[in-house]
Each structure stands twice: as structure tokens, then as C-alpha cells.
Amino acid sequence: MSFKFAEDGTGALRIVLVGSETLDRDLSVLSDAQRAWAETHGFTGALGQSLTLPEDGASGALAGALIGRGTAGARARKRFAEGAAIASLPEATFAIENAPDAQADVDEIALGYLLSLYRFDRYRRQSTSKAQLVAPARCDADHLHRVAAAEALTRDLINTPAEDMGPDALEDAVRGLAAEFGAQVATVEGDDLKGQNFPLIHTVGRAAAKAPRLIEMTWGDDGPALTLVGKGVCFDTGGLNLKPGASMGLMKKDMGGAANVLGLARMIMAGGLSYRLRVLIPAVENNVAGNAFRPGDIYTARNGLTVEINNTDAEGRLVLADALAYGAEAAPDLMICMATLTGAARVAVGPDIAPFYTDDDALAGALAHASIRVADPVWRLPFHDAYEPMIEPGIADLDNAPSGGMAGSITAALFLRRFADVPRFAHFDVYGWQRANAPARPKGGVGQGIRALFHALPEVLTP
């Protein structure tokens, strides 16, 4: 699947961007006949509205298109609508005649077009976009190509059902990515996890037919050390605390944290950034069998902390605990964790916003700025120290599922922080799923937070 702008803009048809508040001015560049055409067809410049333009005269040949920009408020509420409208135009090559002055607006339109080219066609043939767009002036086309390819990787991994995306297939995907960019991969699998001190990863995954594993990818010899940890629960039944069917239906996406860190890693490697990159993915299925772990069990994690299991459906934080402890042993300059961890995060901020936790104010500020700049909404939530007693059950050091139902995303983040013994750490509690079709984001798997992270990293990680 190609996510690229038109290679040859010769003879490209014009696209005129039209704001609903600047309608008369923006349409003034058209001929009298074309303005009459727009009026006859009720073109108002509403956000995402499109209208093809005929040539003057009797031929009726395609001359270009109008794309509605709406108002600034409408654009803030609905990302990528202009780019998606361009992708829906008829087969032809187009060029934007009046690109916005703001660089962020230009980039959003261009990226929205590229992201709209995505189709998940592994199991069913999908119609493709026929319109081709010449890269707008002032946008970094190569960078946007890399971003779109990374997003496609993330979406493909999440969209693939667990039958074809178990721990073994996820490892294969990592190895494929590593081969593309000259990275190295090592794995610890099955009972070897116990021997090499990854007890919680083994515990969660031991009841599944496909062996649990820790997947480690490394790349780069120079620059700051950056470790990315992604939750790779390829399917989550809930274990012995079995989920109801309605809650299990989307659990192929429970490896969305792994998919997101691999998308971010792809951006970093494709961009040739100067980091010593390390990606850690605990890949498991949380299943039911005679050897499944039980509520009330107590296990000792890699870093020596004991954990009481009060709900086997809170398994993600367990596998991440071992991976984070392992990642911290190398003392990276920054460690980032991404996971589809809690429903409480969705209650707090909904499905479109990726909440994150960090004690690093500089990182939080850079992420807040980048989130707006690249139209990738994230929001800081607190590591609220006063809630620490909620994750301490008394019988063990930690409780994997505190009772009471309060502050579930925060207590999960506090749990993970106990294993991330590094000066700079951030945890993202992502959803990884688009519930309904939206501009440039079809229903299904979706990247969250990785564009903001990629944009923020150079500001907070300097050689």
C-alpha cells in the first residue's frame, strides 16, 4: 500500500480551499461560470465539503475542485477533514492553489490526505482512493510519508485478529520491521522466561496455546538512550475472571500499546534519528486453562516486589512490570510505556484522547505543544502520590486490581511507576481503536500519541 504524494505534478488540476467565513473572497479566483456553478450546487465552504469544477465552455471536462475549510472552530473539532475530502475526489492529479499560511495547517491537510489512503485489505478487497495530491509547498513530504507508513503499521497490527496476530506473529512483525532498518531482535520464550527472571510475563501467558515471550529490538549506536515498552496482550479473555462476551469482542486490540511503540520506532528509524533505541514487548495471550493464574495468588516480579492478584483481568500491568523493570536496568535517558490498560482512562477522557502520566514537567510541556502542532490529542493526568496506599494490599507489596473502582487509570499508572526506576518516565494509557469512521481514521485500529511523541522527543532528548 502506497502512502505518497503524486510524483509528477505536471498538468495538475487546481484545488481551491474555501472558508465558510471567507467564501466570497476565496471564490473570487474562479471564473464567473465556475462561481455560478458553486452557487447552484450550494457550496458554502463548510468543513470537508467538496465540489468538482468544470472547465468553462461546453466540454464539461474536470478543471479542479473546491474544498471547504469551514471555520477555525470547526477545524479544531474535526481533524483531517480537508485532507480526507481531497482523497475522495475523482481520479486525477490535484495541487492546492492557496495553501494556508500556518505550517501546522498545511501539514494537517497533507497528512490527512495520506492517512485517508489507508485500507485494511488483508481479508477483503477494498476500493482505493483515485485522487492524487501534489505535496503542498512548505510541507516535508518525506517526513509525512514516514509518518503515514508508521500509522499504517500500527493500524494493520491492531486490526489483525488474534488467530493471525498471536505472540508468535507479533514477534514476526517485529523481526520484519527490524530487517527493514538493520535493527537486532532477541526473544525470551516460554519456560525460559522463568529461568531468565521474567516471572509475571510467564505467569500471565502460560495458559495459552501460543507461548508467551519478551521481544526485544535494539537499533542505533549513538545519542540518548530511549526505551519504548509496549503492552503486547494479543488477546485477553480476562483469564479466570472471564470477561463477558460484549467486553471480549475487541480484545484483539489489547496489543495496541505494542503496535503504537512499533509505529513510533518505525518513525524514529526511518527518520534516522540519533537515539540508542530499545523496544521491549511482553507478548502474551491471557487465556483460561488448568494452569491459569488465579485470584489470590501472589507472585514476585523481576525487581523483587510481590504482587497479589485480585483480578486476572488486570494482566497488562503485570507483563509490563517485568518489562519495565528489565528496561530500567540499563538506565535509559527516557523510558516510555504505551498500553491499552484501563477502561477508566476512557471514562476520564473518552476514546480520542491519549492520557499520559509523567513526573517530568519538561516532557509534559513538550507533549502538550506537540499534541496541538500535529493534531494528535494527548492529555496529562497525575501520578497522584496520595493514592499510593490504594495499590498496597498489606499481604503483598502491591495489588494488581484495587477494590473500590476509583481512579483506576491513576492507580494502574502508579503500579507501573514502581517498576520504572528511571529518572525520566512516561506512561500512555491509550485506547488504540476508532469506534466509527472519521476523516482519515476509518473504524478500527488507530495510532494514538506517537506523532506527538515523535515531535516532542528532539526537544527533551538532546545529545
Q: Is the pTM of this model over 0.85?
A: yes
Q: All 3 cell numbers of residue 443? A: 473504524
Contact 379, 349 (CB under 8 A): yes
pLDDT of residue 9: 85
The amino acid at residue 375 is A
29 band by pLDDT with thresholds 50, 70 and 90: very high
Contact 94, 65 (CB under 8 A): yes
- Give the pLDDT confidence of 204-244 residue by residue, as tens digits: 999 999 999 999 999 999 999 999 999 999 999 999 999 99
What are the domain boundaries of the chain?
13-117, 145-460
- Give the pLDDT confidence of 259-273 residue by residue, as tens digits: 999 999 999 999 999
Burial of 408 by CB count in 10 Å (0-12 exposed, 13-18 middle, 19+ buried)? buried
Closest CA to 189 of 174, 206, 164: 206
Whole-number percent of the chain with pLDDT over 70? 100
- Give the pLDDT confidence of 50-70 residue by residue, as tens digits: 999 999 877 889 999 999 999
Q: Is 317 a catalytic residue?
A: yes
1 band by pLDDT with thresholds 50, 70 and 90: low
3-state secondary structure of 306: strand
Residue 149 CA to residue 158 CA, distance in Å, equals 14
E strand map for 31-107: 50-54, 62-70, 93-96
Q: Is 252 a catalytic residue?
A: no
The amino acid at residue 295 is P
Characterize 5-29 residue by residue with b for buried, 16 or more Cβ atoms within 10 angstroms of its Cβ, and e for exposed: bbeeeeebbbbbbbbbeebeebbee
Active-site residue (options: 206, 317, 418, 441): 317
7 band by pLDDT with thresholds 50, 70 and 90: confident
Whole-number percent of the chain with pLDDT over 90? 95
Helices (H), 69-198: 72-77, 81-87, 103-115, 141-159, 167-181, 192-195
pLDDT value at 404 more than 90? no
CATH of 13-117, one of 2.20.28.120, 3.40.190.10, 3.40.220.10, 3.30.1330.10: 3.40.220.10
Residue 248 CA to residue 159 CA, distance in Å, equals 15
Residue 416 CA to residue 205 CA, distance in Å, equals 19
pLDDT value at 104 more than 90? yes
Closest CA to 320 of 388, 258, 251, 382: 258
In this structure, which topology does domain 145-460 adopt according to CATH? Aminopeptidase (3.40.630)
Active-site residue (options: 4, 78, 175, 243): 243
Greater model confidence, 405 or 450: 450
